[in-house]
Each structure stands twice: as structure tokens, then as C-alpha cells.
């Protein structure tokens, strides 16, 4: 990296200085050799004339040779130091390259892991969309079933009204028959109190009246049996209607519960995935402080992850819209069931029972409102 580059540049500068010093020493050695040759010639020229000068020349020659040897040793040391510095520079470059390669491989692995995570996220989003579509179909089927049950209730109510009319007619007829029986009994009592002569003369009329009374009694018994049968059927129908209402209420409650749980689970999973993506983006942003080429690659990867994050957020927004639509559908189904229940309660239940049903409806609405508020807070967090 930058510190390694500065160290390499310093080493190269030092190597250049050592090479210049070696060149200077070599040129100086050459000059000394030339001077040695000149001194040798001068010594030979004056050897015969001046022994002292010859001795001094020999000493100068020895000194020059010693200096040359010293310079040669210095040159060898400089060359060794240059070779050592070159080797260190090569090793440092290799270490830097290995470190950069290792970082690049590590970043590449992390990018691949992030890509796999994005693919998994896309698959989960598709699965969630399929689940939402399934819930929509279930909601539609529930509405269809609720409409069918409402129609069945209306038909049962019509039959019940018809039976009530028949029962009222039968009860009226029973009253009439009872009145006739009372009248006949009074007439019989009157006949019993009359003299024997009139009783014998009116024996035929008495028999006719007795036969009429017996027929009226049989008719009254038949009407009472019909009345009991109709009453029993009415009770059975009312019991069936109550069971139907309980089943419909149970199914509606279970559907609302499952819908809320599914939406909450999906939103929670998406929030966790968004947090995980943000963590990965932050990690990539920290690692992007490396080399220039690695930084460019990480920047592109960061932008891609930002786009994936935006796509995930848009999908979550779509899921929120789907949840709102499903809640509206559920409210519509609740309103339909409530209207049908009110109509039935107006004809078959008391005001206290209707008030209880209203309290239950208000409690269900409050529960749904609390759930929506909690969901909004979870999404905002």
C-alpha cells in the first residue's frame, strides 16, 4: 500500500546513491591507477639519480595500492548492500502483492456470498408473493362462503316466517275448536238437565251432537299434534341457525388471526433481511477503503446492493399495500356478516343479546386496530 510504496521509493533512492558512490569510487580508483603508473615511470626515471626519490616513490606506490585495495573492498561492500536492498525490495513487493491478492479473493468471496443472499432473498420474496396470492384466494373463497351462508340464512328465515304464519293459523284454529268444544259441552249439559220425554224425543239430535263433538275433539288433537310438530321444527331451525352463526364467527376469527400472523411474520422476516443487507453494505463500505481498483469494484458492488435494498423496500411497500387491501376485504366481510346478523337478531333475539354482539364486534375492531398499530410501529422501526 502507500507506506510500502514510500519504503520502496526510499530504498530505490538509497540504491541510486550507493550506485553513484560506487561509480565515483571506481573513477577515483582509475585516476589513482593512472597516477600510480606515472609515479612508477617517474620512479624508474629518477631511480638512478636519486635513491631517496625512488624510496619515496615506492612508499607512495604502496600507499596508493593500499588505498586501491580499500576502495575495492568498499565497492564490494556497496555491491553486497545493493543486492541485499534489491532482495528486500523484491520480497516487500511480493508480500504486498500477496496481501492485495488475498484481500481481493476475500472481497470476491464476500461479493459472491452477498449475491447468493440476494438470490435467496428474491426466492423468499417470490414465495411470499405466492403466499399473499393464496391468502387473497382464501379471502375470496371466504367471502363467497359468507355470501352463500347469508343466502341460506335468508332462505331459512323465510321458511321460518312461513312456519310462524302456519303456527299462528293453527293456534287460531285450535282456539276456534276449543270454543266449539266448550259450546258443545254446554249444550250437552243443558240437554242432560232437560226432562226424560224431551231427552227421548231429541235422542237423534243428541247423538248427532255427540258425533260432532267427537269429530271436533279428534280435529283438535290433530291440530295440537301439528302444532307440536311445527314448534319442534321451529326450535330445530333456530338451533341450526345458532350453530351456523357460531361456525361462521369461528371461521372469521381464525381467518383474521391467520392473516395477521402471516403478515406480521412476512414483515418481520423482510425487516431482518433489510438489516442484514445493510450490515453487509456497511462491511463492504469499510473494506472499500483499500486500493484504488478494489475501491472501484466495491463501489460498484455497493451501488448494486443499494439498488437491491431499494428493490426489497419497494417489495415490502407492495406487501404493505396487499396487507391493507386484505384488511379492507376482511372489514367488508365483517360488515356483511354484521348486517346479516343484525337482521336476524332483529327478528329472533332480544336487545340484550344484540348489545352483546355489538360489544363483541367493537372488541374485535379494537383488537384489529391494536394489531395494525403494532404492525405500523414494527415497520417504522
| SS3 assignment for 194-245 | CCHHHHHHCHHHHHHHHHHHHHHHHHHHHHHHHHHHHHHHHHHHHHHHHHHH
Predicted structure pTM score: 0.30
Q: How confident is the model at residue 197 (pLDDT cuts 50, 70, 90)?
A: very low
Q: How confident is the model at residue 5 (pLDDT cuts 50, 70, 90)?
A: low
Q: Average the pLDDT over 165-176 and give the result.
A: 65
DSSP 290: S
Q: Average the pLDDT over 30-57 and give the result.
A: 61
pLDDT digits (tens, 9 = 90+) for 241-275: 667 667 767 766 776 677 677 767 766 776 776 67
Say if residues 252 and 333 touch (Cβ distance below 8 Å): yes
pLDDT of residue 69: 65
Residues in the chain: 381
For residue 173, pLDDT over 60 is answered with yes
Q: Average the pLDDT over 187-212 and give the result.
A: 60
Radius of gyration of the chain (CA): 57
Q: Average the pLDDT over 50-66 and give the result.
A: 55
d(CA 303, CA 293): 16
pLDDT of residue 257: 77
For residue 199, pLDDT over 50 is answered with no
Angle, vertex CA 356, rays to CA 350 and CA 357, nearest 5:
95
DSSP 256: H
Q: Which of 68-72, 73-77, 102-106, 342-346 has the lowest mean pLDDT?
A: 342-346
Q: How confident is the model at residue 99 (pLDDT cuts 50, 70, 90)?
A: confident
pLDDT digits (tens, 9 = 90+) for 272-324: 766 776 676 666 656 555 544 555 665 565 566 556 556 655 655 555 555 55
pLDDT of residue 246: 76
d(CA 317, CA 310): 10
d(CA 17, CA 81): 12
Amino acid at each position: 500500500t502507500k507506506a510500502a510504496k514510500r519504503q520502496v521509493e526510499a530504498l530505490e533512492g538509497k540504491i541510486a546513491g550507493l550506485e553513484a558512490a560506487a561509480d565515483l569510487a571506481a573513477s577515483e580508483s582509475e585516476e589513482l591507477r593512472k597516477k600510480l603508473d606515472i609515479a612508477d615511470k617517474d620512479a624508474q626515471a629518477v631511480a638512478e639519480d636519486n635513491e631517496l626519490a625512488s624510496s619515496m616513490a615506492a612508499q607512495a606506490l604502496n600507499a596508493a595500492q593500499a588505498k586501491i585495495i580499500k576502495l575495492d573492498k568498499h565497492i564490494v561492500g556497496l555491491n553486497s548492500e545493493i543486492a541485499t536492498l534489491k532482495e528486500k525490495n523484491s520480497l516487500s513487493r511480493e508480500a504486498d502483492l500477496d496481501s492485495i491478492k488475498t484481500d481481493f479473493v476475500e472481497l470476491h468471496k464476500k461479493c459472491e456470498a452477498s449475491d447468493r443472499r440476494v438470490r435467496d432473498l428474491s426466492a423468499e420474496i417470490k414465495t411470499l408473493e405466492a403466499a399473499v396470492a393464496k391468502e387473497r384466494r382464501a379471502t375470496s373463497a371466504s367471502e363467497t362462503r359468507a355470501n352463500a351462508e347469508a343466502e341460506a340464512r335468508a332462505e331459512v328465515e323465510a321458511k321460518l316466517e312461513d312456519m310462524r304464519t302456519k303456527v299462528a293459523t293453527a293456534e287460531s284454529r285450535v282456539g276456534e275448536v276449543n270454543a266449539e268444544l266448550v259450546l258443545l259441552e254446554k249444550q250437552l249439559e243443558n240437554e242432560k238437565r232437560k226432562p226424560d220425554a224431551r231427552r227421548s224425543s231429541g235422542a237423534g239430535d243428541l247423538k248427532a251432537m255427540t258425533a260432532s263433538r267427537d269429530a271436533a275433539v279428534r280435529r283438535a288433537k290433530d291440530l295440537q299434534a301439528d302444532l307440536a310438530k311445527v314448534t319442534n321444527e321451529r326450535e330445530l331451525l333456530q338451533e341450526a341457525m345458532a350453530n351456523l352463526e357460531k361456525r361462521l364467527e369461528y371461521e372469521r376469527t381464525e381467518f383474521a388471526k391467520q392473516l395477521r400472523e402471516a403478515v406480521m411474520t412476512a414483515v418481520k422476516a423482510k425487516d431482518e433481511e433489510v438489516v442484514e443487507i445493510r450490515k453487509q453494505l456497511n462491511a463492504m463500505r469499510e473494506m472499500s477503503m483499500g486500493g484504488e481498483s478494489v475501491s472501484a469494484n466495491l463501489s460498484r458492488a455497493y451501488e448494486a446492493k443499494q439498488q437491491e435494498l431499494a428493490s426489497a423496500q419497494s417489495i415490502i411497500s407492495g406487501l404493505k399495500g396487499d396487507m391493507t387491501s386484505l384488511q379492507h376485504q376482511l372489514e367488508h366481510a365483517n360488515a356483511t356478516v354484521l348486517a346479516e346478523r343484525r337482521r336476524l337478531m332483529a327478528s329472533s333475539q332480544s336487545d340484550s343479546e344484540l348489545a352483546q354482539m355489538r360489544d363483541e364486534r367493537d372488541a374485535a375492531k379494537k383488537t384489529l386496530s391494536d394489531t395494525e398499530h403494532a404492525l405500523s410501529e414494527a415497520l417504522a422501526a
